[in-house]
């Protein structure tokens, strides 16, 4: 779905949202050049797979966090993890690199991608910013609404504490 279709889908689901249009954002550094209505509420999305290419995971964390895949594996009982390829991203979520978003789960017709959501978004404003499957905009919605949407799509949802490794 293109971003306009995502907006319509959110409206059809009765989900309130706001949109910030901006130049293409590919890296977390690109975020720093934009003034955000909800500072510190942008999501960083990682699309990873296990070493057998049998299980795929989408992980959403606050943009200032790092995810240590080895720690994640140990905490959640997965096989060894690595980043999925651009081809796997396109095949599973219908997305291009730089546009990874939990809203891409709408394209996961087999509902096989496991979604891990950082519970830190449920604190404070409860708002979360994600791409509408296009990296030239950010959709702001309540974290609880996003979780409910993904559950409604049929993907396994895991709301977990994701702690950043300490930086020395």
Report pLDDT for 167.
Answer: 42
Q: Where are the domains of the chain?
A: 3-160
Report pLDDT for 105.
Answer: 97
Report pLDDT for 138.
Answer: 95
Query: What is the pTM assigned to this prediction?
Result: 0.93
DSSP 53-116: S--EEEEEEETT----HHHHHHHHT---EEEPPHHHHHHHH---TT---GGGGGG-TT--EEEE
Which residue ranges of the chain lie beneath pLDDT 50?
166-168
Report pLDDT for 164.
Answer: 67
Report pLDDT for 39.
Answer: 83
Q: Which architecture, in CATH terms, is 3-160?
A: Alpha-Beta Complex (3.90)
């Amino acid at each position: 779905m293109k971003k306009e279709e995502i907006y319509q889908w959110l409206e059809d689901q009765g989900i309130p949202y706001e949109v910030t249009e901006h130049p293409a954002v590919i890296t977390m550094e690109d975020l720093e050049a934009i003034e955000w209505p909800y500072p510190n509420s942008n999501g960083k999305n990682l699309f990873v797979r296990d070493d057998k290419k049998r299980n795929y995971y989408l992980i959403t964390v606050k943009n200032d966090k790092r995810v240590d895949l080895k720690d994640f594996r140990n905490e959640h009982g997965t096989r060894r993890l690595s980043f999925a390829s651009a081809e796997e991203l396109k095949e599973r979520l219908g997305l291009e690199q730089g546009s990874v978003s939990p809203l891409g789960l709408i394209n996961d017709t087999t509902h096989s991608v496991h979604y891990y959501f950082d519970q830190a978004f449920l604190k404070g404003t409860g708002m979360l910013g994600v791409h509408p499957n296009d990296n030239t905009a950010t959709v702001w919605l309540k974290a609880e609404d996003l979780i409910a949407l993904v559950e409604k799509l049929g993907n396994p949802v895991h709301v977990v504490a994701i702690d950043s490794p300490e930086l020395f």
